C-alpha cells in the first residue's frame, strides 16, 4: 500500500515536471516558437527533430547537463515530433499566423552566456504584457522601486518587515535551488520568452516564492494596522500571487512543479518566521549590538551560499539580497536613534488612508522620483568605484567586467558594498535629505 502511494506520488511529480505542460500553456496563451515553422516553409523537415538548443537557449543551457535531461530525452523527442506534426499542419496558414501576432526576441539576454535566445511569435499581446508585468514583480527594478517607495510614502514600519521576509524567502529559495539542482524546462519544446535567469537551477521558483510571500505578508502586516476592506486586501494578494506564478510558466523558466514547490515553500517559511518579525525588527532598531550582529549574520550567510559548483546569476543575486537587507537593517537602527521615519504611537492605530488630493499625489511623486534618482546614482557610483578597487586588491584583471564579476573574491564584496549602500541610503540618506528640504 505504502509502495503504491509512493510510486503514484513519484509519477505525479514527474508529470508536473514535464516540459510539455509548459509548452502547452505557452501555446494556449499565444506563444509559439518560429524556428520549426520557418524551416518547414523553406523546405526543411523535422526528421531527427533537429532543433538547435544552443541557439534557442535551452533551459539546461551551457552551464549544466543534469542526468534528468538525458533520461527524459525520448519523452521530449516524442513531444517534439507532435509539435512538428502540428507545425506541418500549420505551414499553409503561417502567413495568417504572422498576421495575427508579432515576432519578438526574448526578454534580456542570458547574463552568463550572452545568449539572446530564439525568436517567437506572440499572438495574444494582452497576456504577453500581463505576464511581463508579473515577472517584473520579482526583478531588481521592482524591488528598488517598491520597498523604498513604501518607506517614504506609506509606512516604514510595514516596509522594514517586508524586507526581512523578502531576505529570508529569497535567500532560502536561492540556496535550495543549488542543493536540489533541477534544470530549467527543456527547450524545445518550451519557448524561452525570458533568457536572463536561464543559467540558474530551477526548483523552487524564487519568483513564485517572492510573489507569494510579499503580497501575503503585506496583507497580514497591514490588515488591522490600516483601515481598508478585507476583500480588497485578499483580492490584491491572490491576484499578485497568481500573476507572478503563471508568468514563470509563460516565460518558459519553470515547470508546474517548480512553481508549486516555490508557493508551498514560501508558505512554510512565513509560518516559521512570521511570528518572529516583531522581535527581529525591534532587535534591529534598539539593541546596542544589533549593527555588529546584522553585518556578521548577513556576511556569514553569504559566504555559506557562495559554495556553488560554478558561477551563475544565483550567487550574485543572493549576495545582493543579503547586502540590501543588511543595509536597510543598519539604517533602521540609526533611524531609531535619530528619530527619522519614526513609527506612529499605538494609540493612533488603526491608521486611516489619507485623502487623495493633487497636492498629496504630487508630494508622493516628488519623493519617489527624487529618492529613486538618489538610489540609482548611489548604485552607479558605488559600482564604478567598487569593482576596480576589489579587482586591484585581489589582483584580478578588470578590463572585462563581466568576467571579473564571476570571481567570488570580486562578486562577494562588490555586491555587498554596492547594495548594502543602496539599502542603507534608501532608509537613512533619502529620508534625511527629505527632512532637510521639507518633504517629510
| Predicted local confidence at residue 56, as pLDDT | 38
Residue with cell 495574444: 124
* Residues acting as catalytic residues: 207, 254
Lowest mean pLDDT among 7-11, 21-25, 233-237: 7-11
Q: In the structure, what pLDDT confidence band is assigned to residue 13 with cuts at 50, 70 and 90?
A: confident
Which has the higher per-residue pLDDT, 119 or 366? 366
Task: State pLDDT tens for residues 322-381.
Answer: 999 999 999 999 998 888 878 887 778 888 888 888 988 999 999 999 999 999 999 999
pLDDT-based confidence at residue 2 (cuts at 50, 70, 90): low
How far apart are the C-alpha atoms of 428 and 333, rounded to whole Å? 10
pLDDT digits (tens, 9 = 90+) for 410-426: 778 888 899 999 999 99
Phi, psi of 31 (to 5 degrees): -115, 125
Q: Which of 38-52, 75-89, 155-169, 340-354 has the highest mean pLDDT?
A: 155-169
Helix (H) or strand (E) holding 84: helix 73-90
pLDDT, residue 211, reads 92
Reported confidence tier of residue 243, pLDDT bands at 50, 70, 90? very high
Pairing of strands 102-104, 120-122: antiparallel
Q: Is the pLDDT of residue 95 over 50?
A: no
What are 32's strand-pairing partners? 121
**Per-residue pLDDT tens for 251-281?**
888 889 999 999 999 999 999 988 899 999 9
Q: Where are the domains of the chain?
A: 134-437
pLDDT tens string 169-181: 999 998 888 788 8
User: Which pLDDT score, from 0 to 100, does residue 105 have?
Assistant: 59
Q: Among 85-89, 211-215, 302-306, 308-312, which is the least confidently predicted range?
A: 85-89
Percentage of residues in the chain with pLDDT exceeding 90?
31
Four-CA torsion 73, 74, 75, 81, nearest 10 degrees: 110
* Position 220 confidence tier, pLDDT thresholds 50, 70, 90: very high
For 325-345, letters b (16+ CB in 10 Å) and e give bbbbbbbbbebbeeebbeeee
The answer to which of 20-34, 303-317, 397-411 has the lowest mean pLDDT is: 303-317
Does residue 130 carry a pLDDT above 50? Answer: yes
More confident residue, 13 or 430: 430
Q: pLDDT class for 313, splitting at 50, 70, 90? A: low
Question: Phi and psi for 391 in degrees, rounded to 5?
Answer: -60, -40
pLDDT exceeds 80 at position 52: no
Return the pLDDT at 166: 93
Higher pLDDT among residues 154 and 1, named by residue: 154
Give the pLDDT score at 356.
84
Q: Which residue has the cell 523552487?
A: 204
pLDDT at 161 over 50: yes
CA torsion 370-374-377-381 (nearest 10°) is 170
In the chain, % of residues over pLDDT 70:
77
Q: Are 331 and 423 in contact (CB under 8 A)?
A: yes
The per-residue pLDDT for 175 is 84
Please state which of the ranges 34-43, 146-155, 300-309, 419-428 shows the lowest mean pLDDT: 34-43
Q: What is the pLDDT of residue 88?
A: 41
What is the spatial distance between Cα 54 and Cα 117, in angstroms, rounded to a whole number?
9
For residue 189, cis peptide bond before it (omega within 30 degrees of 0): yes
| Cell of residue 128, nine digits | 504577453
Quick count: other Cβ atoms within 10 Å of Cβ 389? 15
Q: State the average pLDDT for the chain.
A: 78
If we measure between CA atoms, which residue out of 313, 221, 216 comes closest to residue 265?
A: 216
Amino acid at each position: 500500500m505504502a509502495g503504491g502511494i509512493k510510486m503514484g506520488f513519484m509519477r505525479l511529480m514527474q508529470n508536473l515536471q514535464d516540459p510539455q505542460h509548459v509548452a502547452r500553456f505557452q501555446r494556449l496563451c499565444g506563444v509559439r516558437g518560429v524556428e520549426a515553422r520557418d524551416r518547414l516553409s523553406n523546405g526543411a523537415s523535422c526528421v531527427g527533430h533537429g532543433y538547435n538548443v544552443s541557439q534557442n537557449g535551452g533551459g539546461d543551457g551551457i552551464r549544466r547537463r543534469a542526468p534528468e535531461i538525458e533520461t527524459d530525452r525520448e519523452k521530449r523527442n516524442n513531444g517534439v515530433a507532435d509539435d512538428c506534426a502540428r507545425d506541418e499542419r500549420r505551414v499553409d496558414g503561417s502567413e495568417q499566423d504572422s498576421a495575427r501576432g508579432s515576432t519578438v526576441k526574448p526578454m534580456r539576454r542570458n547574463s552568463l552566456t550572452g545568449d539572446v535566445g530564439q525568436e517567437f511569435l506572440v499572438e495574444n499581446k494582452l497576456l504577453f504584457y500581463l505576464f511581463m508585468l508579473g515577472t517584473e514583480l520579482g526583478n531588481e527594478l521592482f524591488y528598488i522601486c517598491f520597498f523604498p517607495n513604501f518607506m517614504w510614502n506609506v509606512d516604514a514600519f510595514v516596509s522594514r518587515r517586508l524586507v526581512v521576509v523578502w531576505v529570508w524567502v529569497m535567500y532560502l529559495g536561492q540556496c535550495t535551488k543549488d542543493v536540489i539542482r533541477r534544470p530549467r524546462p527543456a527547450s524545445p519544446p518550451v519557448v524561452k520568452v525570458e533568457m536572463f535567469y536561464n543559467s540558474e537551477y530551477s526548483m523552487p521558483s524564487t519568483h513564485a516564492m517572492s510573489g507569494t510571500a510579499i503580497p501575503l505578508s503585506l496583507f497580514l502586516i497591514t490588515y488591522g494596522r490600516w483601515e481598508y476592506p478585507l476583500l480588497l486586501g485578499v483580492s490584491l494578494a491572490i491576484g499578485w500571487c497568481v500573476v507572478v506564478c503563471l508568468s514563470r510558466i509563460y516565460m518558459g523558466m519553470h515547470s508546474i512543479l517548480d512553481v508549486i514547490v516555490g508557493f508551498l515553500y514560501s508558505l512554510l517559511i512565513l509560518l516559521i518566521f512570521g511570528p518572529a518579525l516583531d522581535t527581529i525588527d525591534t532587535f534591529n532598531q534598539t539593541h546596542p549590538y544589533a549593527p555588529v550582529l546584522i553585518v556578521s549574520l548577513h556576511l556569514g550567510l553569504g559566504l555559506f551560499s557562495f559554495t556553488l559548483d560554478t558561477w551563475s546569476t544565483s550567487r550574485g543575486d543572493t549576495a545582493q539580497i543579503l547586502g540590501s537587507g543588511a543595509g536597510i537593517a543598519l539604517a533602521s537602527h540609526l533611524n531609531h536613534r535619530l528619530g527619522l521615519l519614526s513609527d506612529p504611537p499605538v494609540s493612533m492605530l488603526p491608521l486611516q488612508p489619507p485623502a487623495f488630493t493633487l497636492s498629496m499625489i504630487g508630494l508622493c511623486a516628488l519623493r519617489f522620483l527624487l529618492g529613486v534618482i538618489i538610489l540609482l546614482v548611489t548604485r552607479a557610483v558605488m559600482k564604478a568605484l567598487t569593482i576596480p578597487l576589489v579587482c586591484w586588491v585581489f589582483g584580478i584583471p578588470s578590463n572585462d567586467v563581466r568576467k571579473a564579476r564571476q570571481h567570488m573574491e570580486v562578486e562577494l564584496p562588490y555586491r555587498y558594498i554596492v547594495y548594502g549602500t543602496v539599502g542603507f541610503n534608501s532608509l537613512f540618506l533619502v529620508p534625511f535629505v527629505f527632512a532637510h528640504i521639507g518633504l517629510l
